[in-house]
Amino acid sequence: MSMFYANSSFRADVLELAPVTRPVVGTARVPGSKSITNRALLIAALADGPSTLTGALFSDDTRYMAAALNQLGIQVVGDEIAASFTVQGGAGVIPATSADLFVGNSGTSMRFLAAAVALGHGTYRLDGVPRMRERPIQPLLEALNQLGADAVSEAGNGCPPVRIVAGGLRGGQATMAGNLSSQYLTGLLMAAPYAREGVTISIEGELVSTPYIEITVDVMDAFGVEAEIDTEGWRRFHVAPGQRYRGRIYHIEPDASNASYFFAAAAITGGEVRVEGLGIDALQGDLDFVDVLEAMGAEVAMSEGETVVRGPRDGVLRGGDFDFSAIPDTAQTLAAIAPFADGPVTIRGIAHNRLKETDRIAAVARELRKLGQEVEELPDGMTIHPRPIIPADIETYDDHRMAMSFGVLALRAPGVRILDPECVAKTFPDYFDRLIAIAGTERR
């Protein structure tokens, strides 16, 4: 077991997979959800008493979160072999009175920690890689200031680095735009029980990625705190004061976003892939990706404990027009298998994907064009017109989802090489090993 304070990794330059010679069949082993792991780590850190998180993800993003919590004086010990974290809860107290936190390109760590340190008493700075310094956080900072914090973007551009001078969070009412990221709201909700006056948040405009808010509320409830939400209009959220998280043993389900790649592999090879631990009661909205595959001709079977996807025998999917506003992290998965459809594939509702690890709309369109595809880029998505695939080197832009998505495409397309494949360490360090194993292929 080890305490987390730093992260380093070796980055390979290029990966080429031999195209599969058979349908992809088997049970995919998918590690714990990144979204749930980082929520549970933060909530456990604020809880009364110790917590053990089982089925947890060990990746760059979760290591940044664990390291930051240790810097803040809250002990987090990880056992990677057992896939568990033990967290000594701080009872709503941030022990450190100053900290300079580095979170790489982990959006969840940046947004969740920015809200949490506002509960402390001192000065806290949060920073990341150059791309993180381009990712907006101003709506969260403005909301924190409305609730009594002193939070600023050091560069004055609404992006990290962020400096927060805290004297405990007063709470009260805040209004915040919801069209850029649901992670701002999640950060506020998780910190809200320890605000002196409780917290009421009103959302202006459309709130994106609402299934992630449902995850937040579910994890909060599991640790003993109730958040009141308006699920009809997604406009008002309230956390009453005086509530406290209670430490517990908490199990984290497999990552539905990462499961999407294995389901997609089954769909384009006429195979059958099973993922255990993700079923009809799953917390993550990204499991709805299988509904898209079903609409494109795959068969889906779901029970309490697992989900199974069977692809069309010929591996040819139907085209279609799909709204991915609720499941944006799986949009790249669909884009990467669109060349195997029998007609155009349109992906809509993902304008905020331009603000993620890279501009995921522009980047995907650029790389698909290298592969000979005709792509119309839209303000909130794209339309892909399938064409014969030509070999190309795929840039990944230090974006784990670019590498994982195009890795699936490479299973059926010779000469597709993934550059910087090790960027998958952000959320799924051994992704390619697991993909190769279930696909029965090899590295070239």
> What ranges make up the beta strands (E) of 2-160?
2-3, 14-16, 25-27, 50-54, 76-79, 84-88, 98-102, 121-127, 150-153
In whole angstroms, give the CA distance from residue 318 to residue 296. Answer: 4
Burial of 249 (0-12, 13-18, 19+ CB in 10 A): exposed
Q: Which helix (H) or strand (E) holds 299?
A: strand 299-302
Q: Are 21 and 440 in contact (CB under 8 A)?
A: yes
- The closest of 7, 10, 107, 87 to 44, measured between CA atoms, is 87
SS3 (DSSP) at 221? helix
Burial of 81 (0-12, 13-18, 19+ CB in 10 A): exposed
User: Which two three-digit tokens encode residue 5?
Assistant: 């304070």
In whole angstroms, give the CA distance from residue 223 to residue 55. Answer: 17
**How far is residue 419 CA from its own chain's centroid?**
21
In whole angstroms, give the CA distance from residue 9 to residue 20. Answer: 29
393: DSSP letter:
E
Query: How many Cα atoms occupy the beta-carbon half-sphere of 295 within 13 Å?
Result: 12
Whether 321 is catalytic: no
Of the listed 61, 329, 398, 420, which one is catalytic? 329
In whole angstroms, give the CA distance from residue 116 to residue 388. Answer: 50
> CB neighbours (10 Å) of residue 22?
11
Handedness of CA 334, 336, 342, 345 (dihedral sign): positive
**How far is residue 176 CA from its own chain's centroid?**
21
Radius of gyration of the CA atoms of the chain, in A: 21
Tokens 């509320």 locate to 217
Q: 204-234 burial, b if ≥16 CB within 10 A, otherwise e?
A: eeebbbbbbbbbbbebbebbbbebebeeeeb
DSSP line for 316-368: PBP-EEEE-TT-GGGHHHHHHHGGGBSS-EEEES-GGGGGSSS-HHHHHHHHH
Catalytic residues: 329
